[in-house]
Chains A and B, each alone.
Chain A
């Protein structure tokens, strides 16, 4: 599919093809776009009145291809086949259709779960449970007059009432939200958004912007006490690249575009943004801006704040933007920094000018095995110190290494399995690594072929100094593939009494080890205290390196059989883990954002005065709290 798409794009040949190979490394066979929009700066495709055709990978009716009560595509999920072996369905991912022979045993061993004890989600949404919409008839009349597409359908509304926090998915499976959006609107351009915000001000409504719906901070949850009509403003139909400026290497893009579409379309012209958050299949450009997102390859391309050149946002006060598109300016505090991380509390980001880069010529995965986590962290620190981090470098702890191992598909030939055995023998017996202590770093290099090879050597040389052993491209690539697939695992866990979630932080280098150890230990202890019967799965990885510190990502899951209120227990443990992070000098969030989930620590995080500064901006920009999702402040 990749080659075809590149062909139809017509533009730059070889590099685009390579780029697509790269994406197809993570994803395979994502649904082909219905048709490519012309890359012309047309003011609004909705001028004719009716909504323009959905050009993106995700349709207006999201439920047609996405799960209504879980993560990702309907056709992609983990199942246990008739033989009782784990299998990943669908054809979208490399793992699709493959059997994972050791996975069942891993689950049983790690969680004490059993295939016999199953919980089942309700089969479909029960429309009768859905809270009736609070409708403002005059608003609907005005809305109809604008010809902006909208819906009051229960499924559409429920789909936009949540992100992907554990408790939200749990509610979908077993209960119903107390408050959901009353109307969903699909603007197709900036002007549509201006009209909607004007109407909301006129009729005093509450707007909650919706991008890709991948929030993990309860940011999309509707405040229960909201009495006004809640309008879910779905940006998914504002998904065009308006123009590409090859001289300055920038592109102006509508904010509703999702990551995979943005990269796919740019690649047709031989470019990329290089911004690849783990959620890039579904999350949107506007969402990245609103949460201060971070991408896997930030070492080369930067995080969202480094990438953004210009933002256009519609607020109840009017439109906020800059008068030029320049790399840097000294004009007081950067207004972009009021917008980035504002989490939908100030307005709707409609258009973003973002930096682009030519597609890299060459890409290479890699991996290194370290005798223990301490050595691994020391190596990452040295790599950061020498500022030679590859596009991505990640270090997973032993538990996560074993987890990755359990997701190894059945090997086709005896020869491969023989090779695997040899490798294992070499590392554990010959080199004396303890398989229950060792850990693995995965690497991704990008750029000119020659430079990549040079770079690779430099990094491996450093790794050797810290006792690291090169462990092959294949392990590295599988590590990154798992990033996308791992989100699907939670749905499988939920079927077998296992609940879990991930959370993240950033921390100075000298505290990385202490923080990782203490947070994991805290989780284990809290589980014990809260009566969790089986020891939890508590694991971490260092996912980003910076000059002054690192980003650490935790996975935490446990078997909740025998606990009457698992979600409450889960939330208390997550809260304790967050307290532990803060006590260890970690941040409240590196890139997930605050939402409503982490609001209680905002004051502690940025001080009273800091919070007051943010509040005063909110009060000026949105005095009537039209953007009333109650995030952040």
Chain B
């Protein structure tokens, strides 16, 4: 049970902070848009505050600086030598890469977006709420050091909204790392480019030239303080509304100028964007069930405009405290390796650095999670999923209110206006999400219209769609609940009150679910203690030096928490069962996902399981990844049997 001291220091959330988080007030930025002219707003005088060390330059000038940089020239020369080609040809290739990649931000396009997005956002959303103090902090940060914006990623709306927001507050517009797929969209791709998007290929690990050009492009913009750089740690939109485990590539690129002391410091700004109703909710559910994501295309976008008539509720954007990279790194990393090699040479980061980058990535995601706003509907969804097929309306309200208290005890950030009575809150959630649930004869049921008629398979599929959509909202609670809940599950698993044994089960669960939920690496014991602390706080357990045991009145909490995570335990069990039985030979992920989906589908058809969530390709991939990470991929059959058995104890 040893715990790395540095990790503890690094992840310095104290127990007090857990409960008494102070958060800023929100302002609705659409309110003013509804009162005054959008055109005037789009044409307003825009003079953003800029980085104090900024050397102003045009987007094209950046490209030529990058092309002429020692870093890129070095790689060009290397490649020319290795491939026996003329450097000019490779240089041209680099130029093409730059042209494909580079943004060409123009104020005109920005104004165009400012105008159209005003119209669209007002149509789609009731309110767009922002913590103004966060914007003020950001404004100061932008002037002081280069800034990296790290928003959560739930929707394509994310980056549009963020740029819109910065424009509204007269801050420098960010340049945004976008997937190259957008370039496939006629006009829209180029429009995004002019609004500050730059495009990266999905995978370019092996392409040294691409990597060098891309990295240098990003770093040049950062060093010059050209504009805040924005990208998504999660790498892609989370289809489940659960934070995805972070990707490290871009993060390590933006951290390098600080490691090499080319900049004094860099601010990392976690931004939490929470949607009351996610624009892409049904698309996601289809995707998770294996119906492929429609390719980004302009015609697709035009077809999607019918959603304009729909209501997507409120968006909350919480701009977190800028985190100084220098402060994070202080005393943690040895920079000597950087001193011994010329700074323009590509250098593989040391293990120390890699670990540090990973720690920072997790820390930033945890900060995002901390400030995610949870709507009352999220609570309703969580209760509803535990009470299928139907729950009495009054009971639902009662349980929702109870869950609200528990969530707040665990540090969740619930936006529930003081004067709003519970009934109204639940009702407004149900109205907004009428495609998921509805009120029938005083009972709330899933909205599975048309389920009665149709083949068994079709019924299962439709039901799965609704359940996955509904779980998208419950999922928003999970990272807040995961530590106490895993303790609760471990208690059930162990059937012993000895702390050590409970901890060992907790550790096991934490490892198994390491890709499912966000855990700061290497601090299992601290997570355990935090879970115990929170359970003690809500009187669910009592702890002594050696023992942990549930209190009498705590059993409600403990069983609620384990039920909340039951879909994952059962889902993983099914997946492991599939792996232990059905697979005899080596397989690829492409074969695995449809295989396990069919397997679960058949069980559902037979009524042998009720675990619809096991159909989610996200869960399937996470389970497989965990298996590989834990080194269970060698003797997969026995391992899976073993894991299944272990998990079985949780649900018994």
- Residues on A lying within 8 angstroms of B by beta carbon are 510-511, 514-515, 517-518, 521-522, 582-585, 604
Contacts of A518 in B (CB 8 A): 261, 264
Q: Are B261 and A511 closer than 8 Å at their CB atoms?
A: yes
Q: A514-B262, A585-B261 are in contact. List 9 more A-B contacts (CB 8 A).
A: A510-B342, A510-B343, A514-B261, A515-B261, A521-B264, A582-B335, A583-B261, A584-B261, A604-B336
Beta-carbon nearest neighbor of B344 in chain A: A510
Beta-carbon nearest neighbor of A587 in chain B: B339
Contact with A along B304-346 (1 / 0, CB 8 A): 0000000000000000000000000000000110110011000
Q: List 7 A-B contacts (CB under 8 A).
A: A514-B261, A517-B264, A518-B264, A582-B335, A583-B261, A583-B335, A585-B339
Contact with A along B340-377 (1 / 0, CB 8 A): 00110000000000000000000000000000000000
Distance (whole angstroms) from the CB of B340 to the closest CB of chain A? 9
**Bound CA–CA A529/B338 (angstroms):** 28
Beta-carbon nearest neighbor of B343 in chain A: A510
Report whether over half of chain B's contact residues are helix, strand or loop; otherwise say mixed. Answer: loop
- Residues on B lying within 8 angstroms of A by beta carbon are 261-262, 264, 335-336, 338-339, 342-343
**Bound CA–CA A9/B343 (angstroms):** 55
Contacts of A584 in B (CB 8 A): 261
**Bound CA–CA A517/B342 (angstroms):** 19
**Bound CA–CA A248/B264 (angstroms):** 51
**Bound CA–CA A511/B344 (angstroms):** 11
Distance (whole angstroms) from the CB of A506 to the closest CB of chain B? 12
Distance (whole angstroms) from the CB of A459 to the closest CB of chain B? 27
Contacts of A522 in B (CB 8 A): 264
Distance (whole angstroms) from the CB of A436 to the closest CB of chain B? 14
Contacts of B343 in A (CB 8 A): 510-511
**Bound CA–CA A521/B264 (angstroms):** 8
B338 touches which of A510, A515, A521, A585 (Cβ 8 Å): A585
Distance (whole angstroms) from the CB of B262 to the closest CB of chain A? 6
**Bound CA–CA A517/B262 (angstroms):** 10
Distance (whole angstroms) from the CB of A602 to the closest CB of chain B? 14
**Bound CA–CA A501/B342 (angstroms):** 31
Distance (whole angstroms) from the CB of B394 to the closest CB of chain A? 56
**Bound CA–CA A584/B262 (angstroms):** 9
Beta-carbon nearest neighbor of B53 in chain A: A517
Task: List the count of A-B residue pairs having beta carbons below 8 Å apart.
Answer: 20
Contacts of B339 in A (CB 8 A): 585
Contacts of B338 in A (CB 8 A): 585
Contacts of B342 in A (CB 8 A): 510
Contacts of B335 in A (CB 8 A): 582-583
**Bound CA–CA A522/B327 (angstroms):** 12
The 6 closest A-B pairs by CB, nearest first: A585-B339, A584-B261, A521-B264, A583-B335, A518-B264, A514-B261
Contacts of A582 in B (CB 8 A): 335
Distance (whole angstroms) from the CB of A378 to the closest CB of chain B? 15
**Bound CA–CA A585/B259 (angstroms):** 11
Distance (whole angstroms) from the CB of A246 to the closest CB of chain B? 45
Contacts of A521 in B (CB 8 A): 264
Distance (whole angstroms) from the CB of B324 to the closest CB of chain A? 10
Contacts of A514 in B (CB 8 A): 261-262
Contacts of A604 in B (CB 8 A): 336
Distance (whole angstroms) from the CB of A22 to the closest CB of chain B? 39
Beta-carbon nearest neighbor of B330 in chain A: A579
Distance (whole angstroms) from the CB of B629 to the closest CB of chain A? 34
Beta-carbon nearest neighbor of A521 in chain B: B264
**Bound CA–CA A145/B339 (angstroms):** 56
**Bound CA–CA A213/B335 (angstroms):** 35
Distance (whole angstroms) from the CB of B505 to the closest CB of chain A? 43
Distance (whole angstroms) from the CB of A582 to the closest CB of chain B? 8
Beta-carbon nearest neighbor of B331 in chain A: A579
Beta-carbon nearest neighbor of B223 in chain A: A514
Distance (whole angstroms) from the CB of A418 to the closest CB of chain B? 37
Contacts of A511 in B (CB 8 A): 261, 343
**Bound CA–CA A585/B338 (angstroms):** 8
**Bound CA–CA A515/B260 (angstroms):** 10
Distance (whole angstroms) from the CB of B69 to the closest CB of chain A? 13
Contacts of B261 in A (CB 8 A): 511, 514-515, 518, 583-585
Contacts of A515 in B (CB 8 A): 261
**Bound CA–CA A457/B69 (angstroms):** 32
**Bound CA–CA A521/B144 (angstroms):** 11
Contacts of A517 in B (CB 8 A): 264
Distance (whole angstroms) from the CB of B620 to the closest CB of chain A? 45
**Bound CA–CA A445/B396 (angstroms):** 90
Distance (whole angstroms) from the CB of A111 to the closest CB of chain B? 23
**Bound CA–CA A12/B339 (angstroms):** 50
Distance (whole angstroms) from the CB of B326 to the closest CB of chain A? 9
**Bound CA–CA A604/B339 (angstroms):** 12
Beta-carbon nearest neighbor of B257 in chain A: A514
Distance (whole angstroms) from the CB of B249 to the closest CB of chain A? 24
Beta-carbon nearest neighbor of A583 in chain B: B335
Beta-carbon nearest neighbor of A510 in chain B: B343
Beta-carbon nearest neighbor of A515 in chain B: B261
Distance (whole angstroms) from the CB of A90 to the closest CB of chain B? 42
**Bound CA–CA A583/B332 (angstroms):** 12
Residue in B335, B336, B339, B342 whose Cβ sees the most chain A Cβ within 10 Å: B339
**Bound CA–CA A207/B88 (angstroms):** 67
Beta-carbon nearest neighbor of A586 in chain B: B339
**Bound CA–CA A582/B261 (angstroms):** 11
Distance (whole angstroms) from the CB of A526 to the closest CB of chain B? 12
Beta-carbon nearest neighbor of A518 in chain B: B264
Beta-carbon nearest neighbor of B336 in chain A: A604
Contacts of B262 in A (CB 8 A): 514
Distance (whole angstroms) from the CB of B220 to the closest CB of chain A? 15
Residue in B261, B262, B338 whose Cβ sees the most chain A Cβ within 10 Å: B261
Distance (whole angstroms) from the CB of B579 to the closest CB of chain A? 48
Distance (whole angstroms) from the CB of A427 to the closest CB of chain B? 22
Distance (whole angstroms) from the CB of A282 to the closest CB of chain B? 35
**Bound CA–CA A583/B335 (angstroms):** 6
Beta-carbon nearest neighbor of B338 in chain A: A585
**Bound CA–CA A510/B338 (angstroms):** 13
Contacts of B264 in A (CB 8 A): 517-518, 521-522
**Bound CA–CA A44/B414 (angstroms):** 90
**Bound CA–CA A88/B7 (angstroms):** 56
**Bound CA–CA A585/B342 (angstroms):** 10
Beta-carbon nearest neighbor of A514 in chain B: B261
Distance (whole angstroms) from the CB of A11 to the closest CB of chain B? 50
Distance (whole angstroms) from the CB of B86 to the closest CB of chain A? 28
**Bound CA–CA A522/B330 (angstroms):** 13
Distance (whole angstroms) from the CB of A150 to the closest CB of chain B? 47
Beta-carbon nearest neighbor of A607 in chain B: B336
Contacts of A510 in B (CB 8 A): 342-343
Beta-carbon nearest neighbor of B259 in chain A: A583
**Bound CA–CA A582/B335 (angstroms):** 9
**Bound CA–CA A264/B262 (angstroms):** 46
**Bound CA–CA A517/B223 (angstroms):** 13
**Bound CA–CA A585/B262 (angstroms):** 11
**Bound CA–CA A585/B260 (angstroms):** 9
Distance (whole angstroms) from the CB of B581 to the closest CB of chain A? 56
**Bound CA–CA A511/B339 (angstroms):** 10
Beta-carbon nearest neighbor of A517 in chain B: B264
Contacts of B336 in A (CB 8 A): 604
Beta-carbon nearest neighbor of B145 in chain A: A521
Beta-carbon nearest neighbor of B55 in chain A: A374
**Bound CA–CA A522/B263 (angstroms):** 12
Beta-carbon nearest neighbor of B334 in chain A: A604
Distance (whole angstroms) from the CB of A258 to the closest CB of chain B? 37
**Bound CA–CA A585/B261 (angstroms):** 9
Beta-carbon nearest neighbor of A584 in chain B: B261
Distance (whole angstroms) from the CB of B568 to the closest CB of chain A? 44
Beta-carbon nearest neighbor of B262 in chain A: A514
Beta-carbon nearest neighbor of A374 in chain B: B55
Distance (whole angstroms) from the CB of B178 to the closest CB of chain A? 31
Residue in B262, B264, B336, B343 whose Cβ sees the most chain A Cβ within 10 Å: B264
**Bound CA–CA A604/B337 (angstroms):** 12
Beta-carbon nearest neighbor of A522 in chain B: B264
Distance (whole angstroms) from the CB of B72 to the closest CB of chain A? 16
